[in-house]
Amino acid sequence: MKKKRTLIAALSISLILLSPLATKSAVRNQRSKSLPTNLKSDQSPKSINGLIAQSKKSKDLEEGISLFNAGKYTDAISSFSRVITTDSPRKVKNKALLGRAQAYLVVKQPALAISDLKKIEYTPDEKEEQSKKDLVLGVCFIQLKSYDLAIKWLTDSITLVPNQASAYSNRAVAYQSKGNLQAAFKDLQLSLKLNPTPSTIYNLAVLEKKKENYQSCYELLSNLEKSEQTYPGIFLQKGLCASKLNKRDQALKDLIKAASLDKNNAFTLESIGSILAEAGKTKAAISYLEKAEQLYLINGKTEEYAKVSNMIANLNNQ
């Protein structure tokens, strides 16, 4: 499966998976340690076999990391599982458990991720590792819509390591989901100061739209689209803000661009149809609305389907 660049809306999970796994070079260095030379002859076969087994575990861990980074999450889970189910050293097994938990998150299996995270054991001096575990736990509870628990774990992560941009951006997601827009805005600002990623800028823009700061939203997304030309959400949200600012032509341009990048987004098609209807372009409006109507029906969104059907009926009666 090809790895996709991902920007995620403010009410979903922010771009969080940091690579809390060992780097390839670190694993390679561990594998390349010289063999001991002071072994007695009767211990050598057993010790060498142990080193071979350890090398195999390190190889599986490295393979899991590579597969995860390549977007092959199911294969990564298999590689991490081989490390976890063998008698691996604690630190190696912890890295595999954390890696598998992240892969489970990507494939929308937060309960399995939590199960893995509970098996990880850190010592008191492993604060950075514990912070990453707490971060991933926070995202698990965002997926489960348990926002209070998400905030709790993300706050624990920040307490241990205060300079993690992704911990703040994900806590902002949880705060916004609870309707605490002020706290969400504060966390997004902190995240941007630490690491101004496209996903955080996008999330801030969506939050500004929610606060009805349409000009701020529009400006943020206008700057972002210069470097992110293939993510439909940017053009959808920018088009919606442009519409609120009475920039009808720009709104249509952005929304049509969003529809070209994601042909199955019914809401984008509905938004285009609504603007065209307001402009008096009835035939074109109905064409877009009928496409949206069909997609809503296919996806079982009955309320949206009924709304668009009524819009089409009203336009046909004009």
pLDDT tens column, 11-49: 333 334 433 222 233 323 333 333 333 333 344 444 433
**How many domains does the chain fold into?**
2
* Model confidence pLDDT, tens digit, residues 211-251: 999 999 999 999 999 888 889 999 999 999 999 999 999 99
CATH code, domain with 89: 1.25.40
Asked whether residue 5 is assigned to any structural domain, the reply reads no
Identify the pLDDT of residue 149: 98
* Model confidence pLDDT, tens digit, residues 90-132: 999 999 999 999 999 999 999 999 999 999 999 999 999 999 9
Q: How confident is the model at residue 55 (pLDDT cuts 50, 70, 90)?
A: low
- Whether the model clears a pTM of 0.85, i.e. scores above it, the answer is no
Asked whether residue 276 is assigned to any structural domain, the reply reads no
Do 190 and 127 sit in the same domain of this protein?
A: yes
Choose one of 195, 212, 233: the last residue of a domain. 195
Q: In 3D, which of 104, 66, 60, 65 has the Cα closest to residue 83? A: 60
Q: How confident is the model at residue 307 (pLDDT cuts 50, 70, 90)?
A: very high
Choose one of 121, 143, 169: the last residue of a domain. 121
Asked whether residue 60 is assigned to any structural domain, the reply reads yes
CATH code, domain with 169: 1.25.40.10
Instruction: Collect all residues with Cβ–Cβ distance below 8 Å to 44 and sequence separation of at least 6.
Output: none
How confident is the prediction for the chain on average, in pLDDT? 85
Asked whether the predicted pLDDT for residue 54 surpasses 70, the reply is no
The range of the structural domain enclosing residue 72 comes to: 53-121
Choose one of 82, 103, 121: the last residue of a domain. 121
Identify the pLDDT of residue 15: 33
Identify the pLDDT of residue 229: 82
